[in-house]
Chains A and B, each alone.
Chain A
Amino acid sequence: MARMTSRGPVLGIAALYFLVPVAASLWFTIDSPDGIGFDVYSKGLGSEGLTTSLLRSVSIGLATVALGLLLMVPTTVAVALRLPKLRRIVEILCMMPLVVPPIALVAGVATVLSWQQDLATTPLYGTFQALIDRDFPLILVIVYTVMSLPFLYRSLDAGLRSVDLRTLVEAARSLGASRTQTLLQVVAPNLRQAVMGGAVLSLAMVLGEYSVASVLGFEPFAVWMVNVGDSEAQLSVAAAMLSLLLTWGLLLLLTALAGGRTRKTQSRRKTTS
């Protein structure tokens, strides 16, 4: 009972901390000289650039998650199974983006991208063009993948530590499973929650990232919001509210996917007990 009473104020303060800015933003978007109305939302959805930038952000986010997982799942599994001595080194490398400011990272990337003029007569020029394609800038996917490494590594490492991976892999191998079958049927399903956790954090980071995209001159959703905010403050905040809903929706979807099996198991347990 005492625990409940001490929890209440803490939860209340935390709720206020998160909800007051959201409520204030919402009020700002619906309050107009003519009274309360949702005109800015109906107008905003049709405004130029919103849908394009939003879709661009989502596609960059999903590509970042895919590339990050493709890179990190085999790496962390290989380190856990075969090269445990390299764990510290991999951990330090993956944590680097947390200590290197994004602005320093983007300065380096901008320097590399500036080489394209010197490479205009070589086949590499095409590669540079693909990297800086305005509709789908691959360079952002690459930079965001690097920036998401700490989230992916921490999540996957925690997942790998929660299962006796070596024994599971050896059990699968002794039963006749090939390496691919072991990875897909035994390792991956048992890392699902860790994978989803890392994916959720990475996606949230990409959807809200501004500085790298802005410095490199691309316009994903966060940059579009700031740009439009200079001329239409209400529309900018309304877009921020929409992006908040979208992010929550995506996070809920991923969390539901990750927890699907757990819930199924729990319900089955209730049935059998």
Chain B
Amino acid sequence: MTVPVQLKQLRREFGSTVALDGLDLDIAPGELVALLGPSGCGKTTALRIVAGFESADGGELLMDGEDITSVPAHRRDIGMVFQSYSLFPNMTAAENVAYGLRVRGVSSRERAARAGELLDLVGLPGRGGHYPHQLSGGQQQRVALARALAIRPRVLLLDEPLSALDAKVRLSLREEIRRIQLELGITTVFVTHDQEEALSMADRVAVMKDGRLEQCAAPSELYDRPATPFVAEFVGTMNRVPGVVGAGGVVELFGRRLPVQGEAVFGAGAEVDVLIRPEGFAVTAGGASVVRVATFMGATTRLHVSTPSGVEVKVDVPSWEADGLVPGVSCEVVPHEKPVLVAERTLSPA
């Protein structure tokens, strides 16, 4: 089976800035991969190289096994939805959707039929005659999605298509995009800086930092078993608590010995930071720690707890267990016995 998209050691520099530093990524057929990372990590550059709008300084870009590194954008058969509203203002919604077919010389009858079919698919039946300025932002992005799909692209690229929309529309449209992507089974690359968006939509999330791939994994794996401290802290909320590595690959934290996840990088006695998620602790009433803040978040309540060592940790507890845990109450924080990630110490214990 050929791989629809393969990025091999892609490198791109802008002056003295290295935007991509040997990026490797394989995307499987029908898969939705989200490129996630902070601003300037190279995710948009990578997408633009796949689209053909930027050229790579080094490396290869393969599509279905064929090297397309030097193929111009208009010969790649790639559909793209942009961050800003990119509909052609001089064309109606239907004309926009049919534009890719028009430049391919498809007959007007076939174009009209395909445009209608796609406008139905994106939930805009009967809006074909509207001009872009007559549509809302969410509707314009739906038309842009229909336009990108009309040419039956080999790969669909989404460059932060939801970032210009308000929260409610963003939520409904992301579900819509995922539904359509699964329905059509189209290989999709989705760039976002919104981790909630990436984790909820993607089959796999590729976390990038400084032009390199930190980890590419399914959302649950990324969250539960982050490969690097950067991924651990970038995805979700993470506590950094000082600890000491003991013999046999364990680390001591709040009186418990927890197995260290991954390869043993630190020797026994090394002072490290233990990375542990808010739900990785249990809290019981009574003890030497004190609840400082309690924030109700629906199903869970987030507590900010000061420990005897002076470190403040965030702890998520089911709301029904958090009744008595109000600010000022004494409590005890105990980590669950699960493997934890450790990182070089950046915190000094109090």
Contact = CB atoms under 8 A, between A and B. Distances in A.
A272 B130 contact: yes
Contact of A190 (B51, B80, B90, B100): B90
Interface string A89-122: 0000000000000000000000000000000000
A269 B79 CA distance: 29
Interface in B199-245: none
B318 interface: no
Interface string A231-259: 00000000000000000000000000000
Nearest to B99: A175
B82 A163 contact: no
B104 interface: yes
A176 B84 contact: no
A185 B157 CA distance: 23
Given A175-B99, A176-B100, A167 B151 contact: no
Contacts of B53: 170, 173
B90 A189 contact: yes
Contact of A164 (B51, B84, B144): B84
Per CB-CB distance, the 8 closest pairs between chain A and chain B, nearest first, are: A175-B100, A189-B90, A171-B86, A174-B80, A173-B73, A167-B86, A177-B103, A173-B74
Contacts of B104: 176
Nearest to A264: B131
B129 interface: yes
B73 A168 contact: no
Given A171-B147, A173-B73, A176-B103, 4 more contacts: A170-B53, A170-B82, A174-B76, A185-B103
B89 interface: yes
A51 interface: no
Given A174-B73, A175-B151, A176-B103, A272 B80 contact: no
Contacts of B99: 172, 175, 177, 185
A171 B80 contact: yes
Chain A contact residues: helix, strand, loop or mixed: helix
Contact of A186 (B75, B88, B133): B88
Contacts of A174: 51-52, 73-74, 76, 78-80, 148, 157
Contacts of A272: 129-130, 134
A265 interface: yes
Contacts of B131: 265, 268-269
Most A CB within 10 A of own CB, among B82, B104, B133: B82
A222 B151 CA distance: 56
Interface in A141-163: 163
B151 to A, nearest CB: 6
23 contacts: A163-B89, A164-B84, A168-B88, A170-B53, A170-B73, A171-B86, A171-B88, A173-B53, A174-B51, A174-B73, A174-B76, A174-B79, A174-B157, A175-B74, A177-B74, A178-B74, A181-B103, A189-B88, A189-B90, A190-B90, A261-B90, A268-B129, A269-B134
Contacts of B148: 174-175
A192 B88 CA distance: 13
Most B CB atoms within 10 A — which of A167, A170, A175? A175
A171 B103 CA distance: 13
